[in-house]
């Protein structure tokens, strides 16, 4: 019994010591109005682009694209002037099916040998709520550019818990027809309507 109490006390002391050093705790978060103005670069390791379609009317099917790069220039006092540019490498495409991966990267779909990346460039930002906005822009896939609107939610901001670099977090979602970009094979067996979801972290550039 005594040994159990000693072990519990030692564990409690270890936890208290860790907390005192500031480990395993989240840094303080700030709201959208308190964001420091400037240019933020995408943290590629913490950013993921995902698409989803409906397969045969039965199931939702996903593909992911890690490795996005780009930058966001933002000032919370003039949000409508914010600028966003994102590039997504096509070769990073991953699904649950390796055979399908190869087909999607072929000339029948993304044509990765010729079209190395997808690109989104914002053209307008409209605030819709305390933490939400609509971001209109031009999306280029497979050499085709079409307008698209993303519904963006501000998740939070503050210093990165490990690097201490000021970081912004967002989620964005929009809908496109893949046939508009020359990727319409198998529609409607696989839905033409495609949902794009982006989870993005941006780190403030020095200066």
pLDDT digits (tens, 9 = 90+) for 69-105: 999 999 999 999 999 999 999 999 999 999 999 999 9
Q: What is the pLDDT of residues 176-195, one digit of tens each?
A: 999 999 999 999 999 999 99
Buried b (16+ CB within 10 A) or exposed e, 55-86: eeeeeebebebbbbebbbebebeeeeebebeb
Mean pLDDT computed over 59-68: 97
Asked whether the predicted pLDDT for residue 8 surpasses 90, the reply is no
In the predicted model, what is the mean pLDDT of residues 135-157? 98
pLDDT of residue 129: 96
Task: Tell the burial category of 26 from Cβ atoms under 10 Å away from its Cβ (0-12, 13-18, 19+).
Answer: exposed
pLDDT of residue 28: 83
| pLDDT greater than 60 at residue 7 | no
pLDDT tens, residue by residue, 48-57: 999 999 999 9
Higher local confidence (pLDDT), 47 or 2? 47
Band (pLDDT 50/70/90 cuts) for residue 23 is low
**DSSP H or E stretch at residue 16:** helix 2-20
Q: How many Å apart are CA 137 and CA 120, to the nearest integer?
A: 7
CATH, domain 32-204, list 3.20.20.70, 2.40.128.110, 3.30.70.1710, 2.30.30.180: 2.40.128.110
Task: Give the number of residues written for the chain.
Answer: 207
Confidence check: pLDDT of 163 > 60? yes
* Stretch 163-172: mean pLDDT: 96
Model confidence at 14, in pLDDT bands (50, 70, 90)? very low
Any idea where the domains of the chain sit in the sequence? 32-204
Average pLDDT, the chain: 91
Mapped onto helix, strand or coil, the DSSP state of residue 15 is helix
Residue 172's CB is within 10 A of a number of other CB atoms, namely 20
Tokens in use for 166? 């000021």
What does R_g of the chain's alpha carbons equal in angstroms? Answer: 21
Name the band, by pLDDT with cuts 50, 70 and 90, for residue 26: confident
């Amino acid at each position: 019994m005594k040994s159990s109490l000693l072990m519990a006390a030692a564990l409690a002391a270890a936890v208290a010591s860790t907390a005192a050093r500031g480990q395993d705790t989240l840094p303080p978060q700030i709201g959208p109005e308190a964001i420091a103005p400037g240019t933020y670069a995408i943290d590629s390791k913490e950013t993921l682009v995902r698409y989803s379609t409906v397969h045969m009317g039965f199931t939702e099917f996903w593909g992911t694209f890690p490795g996005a790069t780009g930058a966001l220039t933002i000032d919370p006092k003039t949000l409508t002037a914010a600028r966003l540019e994102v590039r997504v490498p096509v070769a990073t495409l991953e699904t649950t099916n390796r055979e399908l991966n190869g087909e999607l990267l072929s000339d029948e779909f993304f044509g990765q040998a010729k079209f190395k990346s997808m690109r989104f460039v914002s053209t307008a930002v409209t605030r819709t709520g305390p933490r939400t906005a609509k971001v209109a822009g031009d999306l280029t896939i497979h050499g085709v550019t079409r307008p698209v609107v993303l519904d963006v939610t501000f998740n939070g901001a503050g210093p990165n818990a490990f690097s201490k670099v000021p970081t912004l977090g967002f989620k964005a979602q929009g809908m496109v027809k893949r046939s508009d970009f020359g990727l319409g094979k198998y529609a409607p067996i696989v839905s033409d309507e495609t949902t794009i979801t982006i989870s993005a972290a941006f780190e403030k550039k020095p200066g």
